[in-house]
Amino acid sequence: MRYVIIGSGVAGIAAIEAIRSLDREGEVVMIGDDPYGFYSRPGLAYYLTGELHDKALFPRTAAAYRKMNFRYVKDRVQKILREAHTLEMEGGTSLSYDRLLLAVGAQAAPMKAPGADLDGVLKLDHLEDAKKILKHARRGRTAVVVGGGITALEMVEGFLARGVRVHYLLRGDRYWSNVLDEQESRIVEHRLQEDGVRLHFHSEIAEILGKKGRVSGVRLVDGKTLACDMVAYAIGVRPRLELAKQCGLEIDRGILVNEYLQTNDPAIYAAGDVAQVYDPATGQSVLDSLWGPARQQGYAAGLNMGGKRTAYRKAVSFNVTRLAGLTTTIIGMVGSGRDDDLVGIARGDSETWRHLPEAIVAQTGFEVNRLRLLVGERTLLGAVVMGDQKLSFPLEKIISDGVDISPIREKLLTPQARVGDVIADFWLEKNA
């Protein structure tokens, strides 16, 4: 049996681990075109700020890879010939497969403004991009950053850490409006302004200006110009669908797969950022661009490829990130629809956050420690924890296990309730 995995990210690595837990003898081949192979995508933010050395981005040792017993092919697949179960490579070779996994990820939605091809226009998809950002930050003085999610903020913070002046453009009236509420957005914005970031709301680039092929500034839709040496953008990500389209797999916004991560071709699976996964609990197919679900999907796909039929059950969406230096955990359903700053899903985001059911919000917060809960009829549906993270773990368990909160529901909804204390007491009582 030959298992072939296209893509060297976390979903692909997890799939190999799952396959090897069932089949020690079959041949496993991973095909990737990232020059750095597998590394921690979430770690790039800390690499940009100088908190992590690039060596720390590589969580696996050579010995660990040898133990997994797979062959790595550095190439790009040009065509999938489904009937022949064969892949045609850019390098001219071909490779047959019995089971195939597409774990090719997503890429930054393109910047459409005139001048987007100038030297100094930057994105943050890969380690290669991060190295390019640092190279430009060494010689540049001013950057304009565009976009409303986590990745845009990672670039803002990276530039700040390198002593670069930053103009941050938001098309809407606040930061990451489809996930954070107004108070949370304002906390992040205020902290950025304290660090010297110039925020520009309702602002959009009409044109990137250049001199001798390099960025020299931007002209905004309202006619204003800003001088800068760099323009960095993160306006959403798009699943890489070229191969799926070429070979006729069913696609929507991602590659459509069932709960076994299987496409409409039973020999081909998809997992990670590229997969739009059917969730039996909601009856919807959703995209996730979170590290955790990519790993879980990859592992489930690997089990299914190895012959152990295993349904992927989407866990409660959970992300720990850092927003303007403030540790922030987002759990479950917290969103509020579309976001003008993003053309698609954001990196480190989940569409589950948008499907907000009827819920009452209970919040507590002062300065930068803040807790927001989405209270359903009998359960907690979601939470945002900013600053002090003591309650993150209890809340994740209460939300993901669907714990009945009827005994404390009224207390949570009492005006001026100390929501954090109510949750802490409830958790301690439950686990006494």
Domain coordinates of the chain in residue numbers?
2-106+238-305, 110-233, 318-430
pLDDT for 157 equals: 97
Per the CB < 8 A criterion, the answer to whether 297 and 260 are in contact is no
pLDDT beneath 70, residues of the chain: 336-338, 353-358, 365-368
| Cα 368 from chain centroid (whole Å) | 24
Residue of 311, 137, 149 whose CA lies nearest to 215? 137
CATH fold of the domain at 2-106+238-305: FAD/NAD(P)-binding domain (3.50.50)
Per the CB < 8 A criterion, the answer to whether 86 and 95 are in contact is yes
Q: Provide the β-strand partners of residue 145.
A: 168, 232
Summarize pLDDT for 332-342 with one digit per residue, the tens. Answer: 888 766 677 77
Residue of 427, 395, 424 whose CA lies nearest to 329? 395
Same fold, 2-106+238-305 and 318-430: no
> With respect to CATH, is domain 318-430 assigned 3.30.390.30?
yes
pLDDT for 358 equals: 63
**Assigned architecture for domain 110-233:** 3-Layer(bba) Sandwich (3.50)
Task: Decide: residue 167, CB within 10 A, 0-12 exposed, 13-18 middle, 19+ buried.
Answer: buried
Residue 309: count other Cβ atoms within 10 Å of its Cβ: 8
pTM summary value:
0.92
pLDDT for 365 equals: 65
pLDDT for 367 equals: 62
